[in-house]
Structures are given as C-alpha cells and as structure tokens.
Amino acid sequence: MKTLCDKFLSAKVRRLSPYVAGLQPREDGWIKLNTNENPYPPSPRVGEVLHKIDTSRLRLYPDAESGDLKRAIAAAGELFEAGLCEENLFCANSADDVLALAYMAFFSGKDKILTPDISYGFYPVWGEMHDAGMEFVPIGADFSIDAGAYKNGNGVVIANPNAPTSLALPLADIERILQQNPDGVVIIDETYIAFAREGSAVALVGRYKNLLITRTFSKSHGLAGLRVGYAIGQPHLIDGLRRARDAFNSYPLDLLAQTCAAAAVSDRDYFIETTGKIIATRERVIAELRKMGCRVISSQANFIFMESSDASALYDFLCENKILTRHWNKPPGLENFLRVSIGTDDEMEGFLQCVNRFLNGEPTKPL
Amino acid sequence: MKTLCDKFLSAKVRRLSPYVAGLQPREDGWIKLNTNENPYPPSPRVGEVLHKIDTSRLRLYPDAESGDLKRAIAAAGELFEAGLCEENLFCANSADDVLALAYMAFFSGKDKILTPDISYGFYPVWGEMHDAGMEFVPIGADFSIDAGAYKNGNGVVIANPNAPTSLALPLADIERILQQNPDGVVIIDETYIAFAREGSAVALVGRYKNLLITRTFSKSHGLAGLRVGYAIGQPHLIDGLRRARDAFNSYPLDLLAQTCAAAAVSDRDYFIETTGKIIATRERVIAELRKMGCRVISSQANFIFMESSDASALYDFLCENKILTRHWNKPPGLENFLRVSIGTDDEMEGFLQCVNRFLNGEPTKPL
C-alpha cells in the first residue's frame, strides 16, 4: 500500500533500506553490550573544558575547519610520527558523517566500489543513497578478507578491524589493496583500530595518494554521545571532502564538540589506560568463553564475535536478563553468531554468568 | 588543468559550485555584521545546564530522535497553540543539515523544484548535489515574491523572510503556494521568522500535508556555534526525513547540542527580550540610514538590505574600518546592495558613523 509518506518521497529514499542502529534503552538497569560503546567515561579533561567554557562564544559560527581540534589530533603523537599534520585531517559530525561525505566526494555515480559482503551495515546504504555501484566481495568461511580479491576498483571501503567479525588485516594486505586499486580511493575505516594488534594505515598515508582513513572518537575516546569523526589522507583527498561538505552542511561540527574532542585527544595517558583495560577484559572474556566450550573469533576490536548453535535463543536469554547484545539473521553465516561489546569487568562477569546458565540449559522464560 | 583531487572526485562533486559562507575572522576587533549571527549570547540557562552536565553520559550514543529537545520545542508555546507536538518535529545538526536531508527525502531525482532566483545560496547547491532540477522563479524588481508564479511544482523551497532581501510573505501567500503545489513538498525556511511581522506558517501545518517548515537556533537563540536546526510538519513528512537521516548519519545531534538547545528554547522570556532588542535596533538603523538618504528595504529579518550606488566601494570602506558586511556581485540586481546583520546598538552606531563618513566622501585608503 502506498502511504502518504511515499507520495512525497524521492524514488531513491523510497527504495532504500535505511541502516538500523542498535537499541538504546532509556531506562536504567541494562548491561548494554550492543553498540560497541566504551564502558569508561571520557577523559576528565572533557569535563574540565566543558565546565569552564564561555557560552557567549556559542553565538558565533564555529570554525568550519575545526582547526584547534585538527591541531590537537595532529599533536597526539601517532600522526606526528608518521610525518602528518593538520592538512591531512578533515573533521565532521561522526565517522558516519565523514563516510557519507566521502561517498559523495569519491564514489557517487561510479561502479565497482569494492567492499566485503559482511561488514558495517551502513556501507551498502550509502551506496544506494549516493548512486555508488557497490560490488560485494565474499568474505572467507573463517570471516577473513582476501586482499587479492580487491583489484581494479573505482573505490574500496574496508573496516579494519572489520565489524562484526572483529578481525583485522595486516598492513601488508592494506598496502596490496592500495596498489591494486590505483584509480580509486581506498577507504580504511579505522573505527576499532585502537583495540587492534595490527598497525594503523596512518603509516601509509604519505606514500599512497588513494588512501583515506576514517576514525571516530565514539569507541576509543568514550565519546559516542559527542559525534566526532575524522579522516586522514593526503591534502587533495581532504580538499575533496571539503567540497562535499560545502555542498551539504558547511559547519558540520559545533564548538562544544570541537572543544571536548580536542581535550580528549590531548589526554594520551587516559586513552592508553582505558583502551588497555578494554583489551585486557576482552582477552579474559574470550578465554572464559572458550573454557565453556564456545568458539570465539580472536578479536582485535572492542567487541567479540562468538558462535552459538542457538545464537538467537542466547540473544533472547541475555535480553531477559537485561543484557543487550547484537544478533543478525542475515546475511547467511551471521545467524549463528552474537556480537558482544566489551563492557567493564563487572558487566562482563554478569554476561559470562548468564552465558554459563544458558549453556547449562536454564530455560528461556516466555516473553 | 585536472588536479590530483579531480582524478578521484565524483563527476557530481567536481562539477558543482560549493556554497561559500561569510568570512569568520579569528582575530579580535572586528564588528561582524556579515553572517547574521545574534549579537547577544544565548540564554543563561545554556551555561547552567552545560556547567552541571555529567560528562560520563557522553560515552553512550545520544538519543537519535532528540526526544527531550523535541518536547522542549513543543512546549515552548507556539507549537502547542497550533495543536502540534513532538511527532511534528525532526531535529538535526543545523537547519542546513535538515534542508539537505529534506532535499534527499523529497526532491532527489525530481524536476521542477521551484525557488526564487534570489535567495539563500545553498538552495541551488543542494539541487545539484541531490539531482533535483531547480526551476528559478524570477523575483520582482522590488525583490518581492509573486505567489502566483509558484504552481504545479514537484517541490518548492522559499525562505520566509527571504535572504538577502529581508522581505517576508504574508500567510495568505504561503497558503496559496501550498494549494498550488499539492503534489510537492513546500519547504518554508523560517530561519529569520523570529524577527518578522508576518506570522509563521506553523499555523498551517495541521491543514497542509505538503508543508514542511525549517528552523534554526542559530539566529533567534544566539546559538550559531551549536548547530541545531529542526523541521515542523505532519508525521508522514517527519518520517521521510527520518528515512533520509538513516541513510546518511543516524545520530545527527550530539548530547550537548540537544541539552543546550532544550535549555535555550525553554527560556521564552529571554528569547522575546533579545529578539525584541534586535528588532528595535533594526528599526532605528533603518531610520538613520534613510535620514542619510540611503534606500533600505523594510526588513523583517535580523539584517538589512541597503542600496548603494557604489556598494562594492562601501563594502571595502567598511572593511578597512574593521566592519564586515556581505556583498554579492551576482546575480544581477544584487551588486548595488549590501546585506548588513543587526549587531548591538554600539556596533550599529559604529556602522552608521562609518557609512556617514563614506557618504561624505572620505576617501578609501588603498588596501
């Protein structure tokens, strides 16, 4: 039935299947392991800058280029060591915003944009939205990405580490993909790189004109609520993003977000401490689950991807016990897995106990 | 010459002319009358909520629907009186963001999207970006919009009051346009409505299925730096915007922006006081300029549109005296006008003195 909304919608938006984000329950009492948020609050420096900010500055437009934030990111060590500076950076309202603008700038109207068939659910949606012909490259039975299969594309987008699989590619594979796709922009989405053993592609930016890395403050800096993402690449790609931005929303990042993100990224010690804690918890959880007999992929992210012969029932059992995880029925291959974000040690203890009860046959209550 | 950037750009982004926003000088000492910012800071309630916010909440994704903010907007009086509620609202990262999403949702791939040929410079850019065939309706020699000329469109976008002309349409004309375009969404961009004598189209939302109003906190609430905009319409249009959002960036508005905007809109007295002051200053400035012999359009916005036989030289003279205004060389008809935002009384006194010196023949210093 054609609805009233359909009458006015553009054919494109009527046709597409929007991205569906994980649940965000408003009531308390949930152990929330479904959207890969950081279990730790952001650096105390965020509160400090926020609590002393002069709100009269809000009457003026923010810096469209996020200059102070870019300088803070560039100074944080990793970029500096790779010989990069603020000219290699572009900031916007979350990594999703950066990725959507990157599709507009570099993929719109092109075909053969290569991406794994199991990855972030937003990649195909942006493809539909921006008339980019996505070509889905099958992932291995072990969820591995075969670098050799990414060749002669007009663009590539790969999450590294990948979601929901939690696996990461070594830099040599990224480099191979860059070389095999010289005429297309290769987007490496490093949303989860802070939790990986494999190195960041930042080391390759100076050498590859077609490399664009995207990052977010949401996971690694405990700032999902602030919506700040950025891209790293050579200046001609940063210019391309700027052009797309100025055809969409010239000031994508508000003053408070710029200020808080700059404070967060300046606190390198806190970043190392909290990501280190999450990695330690992850390893402990994986070991415990394996002891219980579960198959768990060796994760390089702030979540784990665990197999269960009855993943849907496990998801429901956890839900009943107020533990939220994520489960997909498609594409095929995912239905036997749960994606579980890494919470605090206490939260994960609750999760492990609940899994144990499920494995020991405790019946699911009727909902 | 084809640049390295061009090599990778999509044809669409390579082709388009991005929107160029007004200058944002970083150094002090300027009287900034070029981007229609509010000369007054936001409500003190913004500082109050910001200074006591619990930053640990930033680790979680924000409410994608901006529920608290919508409820605050709905409670602010005007919507309530029109029988509207939060289901009639959609919030995003500035009115530009809302408008870009509205183009995606309702105009993409359609032709005959009617808009005045002199209006906000972003309208044609979004048209190019979202494959919307814009049809530019000539504005009158007196800059008036002829409602009769907007007929049988697949969409309409009109700023009311219009920029940079500062003129507004009466509600009867808006209603006529709604009736003449039953199959297209009619966007009424009410960025400047808080400063107008004509009424808001909010009163028509209940009766017209094709009416979508867009608003911003930037001008009327002194929050250009916060990037918050919203749309008002019947629920099926709000659903359309939601679909477009979920194909671009599911969480467009961060927690701090939602919180601060809700605090600002709750302070109705401050809003009335500050918009009233701006209107009073505007009227005084117009009267003074007319005394000096200048032609000034009777403004309904927080800026004025003044004629000068040598507008470009006046712009330069003001610049030399560290007063920023806005001047366009095209489209034809604009070259003899300056758009001047309304600042504080002191700022406008400085502006008036400077115009007076210019009119009395004080030579422009060579730059």
pLDDT of residue B1: 56
- A45-62 pLDDT per residue, tens: 999 999 999 999 999 999
Cβ of B244 within 8 Å of Cβ of A53? The answer is: no
Q: Report which DSSP code applies to A35.
A: S
pLDDT of residue B27: 82
Chain B's closest residue to A17, CA to CA, is B247
The minimum CA-CA distance between A57 and chain B, rounded to whole Å, is 7
Neighbouring CB atoms inside 10 A of A257's CB total 31
Query: Closest Cα to residue A158, out of A118, A198, A205?
Result: A118
From chain A, pick out residues whose CB is under 8 angstroms from the CB of B220: none
From chain B, pick out residues whose CB is under 8 angstroms from the CB of A248: 96-97, 100, 126, 129
How far is the C-alpha of B152 from the C-alpha of B186, rounded, in Å?
11
Which of A74-88, A187-201, B163-177 is predicted least confidently?
A74-88
Q: Report which DSSP code applies to A308.
A: -
Contact A114, A153 (CB under 8 A): yes
How far is the C-alpha of A108 from the C-alpha of A127, rounded, in Å?
8
Residue B236, pLDDT > 90, answer: yes
- How would you label A146-177 residue by residue, b for 16+ Cβ within 10 Å and e otherwise? ebeebeebbbbbbbbbbbbbbbbbebebbbbb
pLDDT of residue A357: 97
- B9-56 pLDDT per residue, tens: 999 999 988 888 888 887 889 999 999 999 999 999 999 999 999 999
Q: DSSP labels for B112-142? A: -EEEESSS-THHHHHHHHTT--EEEEPPPTT
- A261-314 pLDDT per residue, tens: 999 999 999 999 999 999 999 999 999 999 999 999 999 999 999 999 899 999
When CB atoms are compared, the residue of A9, A61, A226 closest to B37 is A61
When CB atoms are compared, the residue of A4, A24, A46 closest to B61 is A24
Helix (H) or strand (E) holding A237: helix A235-245
Q: Is A38 left (phi over 0), alpha (psi -120 to 50) or beta?
A: beta
Tokens read off for A155: 């663009």
Letter for the amino acid at B325? T
Mean pLDDT, chain B, as a whole number?
95
pLDDT (mean) for B167-177? 98
How many CA within 13 A on the CB side of residue A117?
Answer: 15
pLDDT of residue B6: 86
pLDDT of residue A17: 86
pLDDT of residue B363: 73
The complex's ipTM works out to 0.95
What is the pLDDT confidence band of residue B332, given thresholds at 50, 70 and 90? confident
- A23-34 pLDDT per residue, tens: 888 788 999 999
- B262-316 pLDDT per residue, tens: 999 999 999 999 999 999 999 999 999 999 999 999 999 999 999 998 999 999 9
The minimum CA-CA distance between A46 and chain B, rounded to whole Å, is 7
Count Cβ atoms within 10 A of the Cβ of residue A104 and give its class: 0-12 exposed, 13-18 middle, 19 or more buried: buried
More confident call, B77 vs B239: B239
How far is the C-alpha of B107 from the C-alpha of A12, rounded, in Å?
10
- A238-265 pLDDT per residue, tens: 999 999 999 999 999 999 999 999 999 9
Q: How large a percentage of chain B has pLDDT more than 70?
A: 98
What is the pLDDT confidence band of residue B92, given thresholds at 50, 70 and 90? very high
pLDDT of residue A364: 67
End-to-end alpha-carbon separation of chain A, Å? Answer: 31
- B96-142 pLDDT per residue, tens: 999 999 999 999 999 999 999 999 999 999 999 999 999 999 999 99
